[in-house]
Amino acid sequence: MKTYFTSESVTEGHPDKLCDQVSDAILDELIRQDPDSRVAVECLTTAGMVMVAGEVTTRGWCDVQKIARNVIKDIGYHDGKSGLDFETCAIIESIHEQSPDISQGVTASEKHEQGAGDQGMMFGYACKETPELMPLPIMLAHKLARRLTEVRRAGIIPYLGPDGKSQVTVSYNEKGNPEAVSAVVIAAQHSEKADLETVRADIRREVIAHVIESDLNQVKIHINETGRFVVGGPQADSGLTGRKIIVDTYGGMGRHGGGAFSGKDPSKVDRSGAYMARYVAKNIVAADLADRCEIQISYAIGVAHPVSVRVESFGTSSVSEEKIAKAVMELFDMRPAAIISTLDLKRPIYRQVAVYGHFGRTDLNVPWERVDRISDLQRAVA
């Protein structure tokens, strides 16, 4: 029986993604100055305004106003017509120190090992659908969203605005393997001078045909189906940090624990634990121990060792899940301090993954995408 799966992505100018990038740009600057910075920064944007709030403990300092305006400018919001003006928008800031009650459980000392920054569960996922070992629908959706930005920045479609969304539906055969792209949905902000027929023809030719290898005559294509997308960005829709967590991860194919990533330093297991889970799952699939793998890690606040670790192969493993789980526990140290060390997370690397996905990013050489434990895993289950 044929089935279908759909995933979406958004461009860097989407209001939620603007907020993710502001939060992570602030995090990057503080970590650059003080790698031990504790950061939990949220951002909200609406017409003519950006608000930054959160908790920070650091020996560094950053100009929040300057960072926020630089991010907005870099994205392409240069005047009010596009949805936000980086020069004139209001930037409101309310940042205070991290709660000492949380800090005492997270900070390592002679008597206390560094514990998790919060309770919760994190998921990692990998599969053989793409060279990046990611689900095909989300990878195609990201490529379409990125291409929308590329053609705007390069002047190939010069009338496009920063805001946009993509969505891809893939059909799967009875064995669960991707078969074809069945539908593509694009919403792209444009200037009022561009007519709908031109927008649709240009996006079909320069964006969709550039990414989708299928015969487009066999694909249902929907481009700007409301007929007009001139008012966009924060002027059209408010944005929040952490509201696109499914875009950030696996497009819904793999589960998500609920915690957002952006604006959080790596002591927060919402972020570092999810990165570690992806690292483990990807190495398991790369080692041919399973065609699909999902890892769940759960933590208690202030406690270093995970409460639980679960391996799920969805019936695709070449050895028993029990063997894989045992190998995982032997080979991967999932205490927060060990994760930070293993993946070298105390570096300003976060704004670059705040848009177009945190996973499958072979273009960025991020540490959680390494497949350097293949031999270790194969030996451990032999």
Q: Pick from 246, 323, 248: which is nearest to 290 by CA? A: 323
**Which structure tokens are listed for 125?**
């996922």
Residue with tokens 């400018």: 73
Query: Is residue 66 annotated as involved in ligand binding?
Result: no
Q: Is 42 annotated as a binding residue?
A: yes
Question: What's the N-to-C CA distance of the chain in angstroms?
Answer: 35
Residue 165 known to bind ligand: yes
Residue 55 known to bind ligand = yes
List the Cα angle 32/281/182 in 5-degree steps. 100
326 is in an annotated binding site: no
Residue 225, marked binder: no
228 assigned to a ligand binding site: yes
Q: Is 260 annotated in some ligand binding site? A: yes
Chain mean position to CA 212: 22
Q: Which two tokens stand for residue 79?
A: 């005047």
Please indicate if the annotation marks 243 as binding a ligand. Answer: yes
CA distances from 139 to 82, 142, 152, 298 (A): 27, 5, 20, 27
Would you say 325 is a known binding-site residue? no
**Helix, strand, coil shares, percent, the chain, to 5:** 35, 25, 40
372 is annotated as contributing to ligand binding: no
312 marked as part of a ligand binding site: no
Here the tokens at position 280 are 């483990």
Residue 264 among known ligand-binding residues: yes
Other Cβ atoms within 10 Å of 104 Cβ, number: 12
**Nearest residue to 218 (alpha-carbon basis) of 169, 165, 145:** 169
Give the residue numbers of the binding site: 14, 16, 42, 55, 98, 163-165, 228-229, 237, 243-244, 260, 264, 268
Give the residue numbers of the binding site for Mg(2+): 16
Give the residue numbers of the binding site for L-methionine: 55, 98, 237, 268
Give the residue numbers of the binding site for ATP: 14, 163-165, 228-229, 237, 243-244, 260, 264
Give the residue numbers of the binding site for K(+): 42
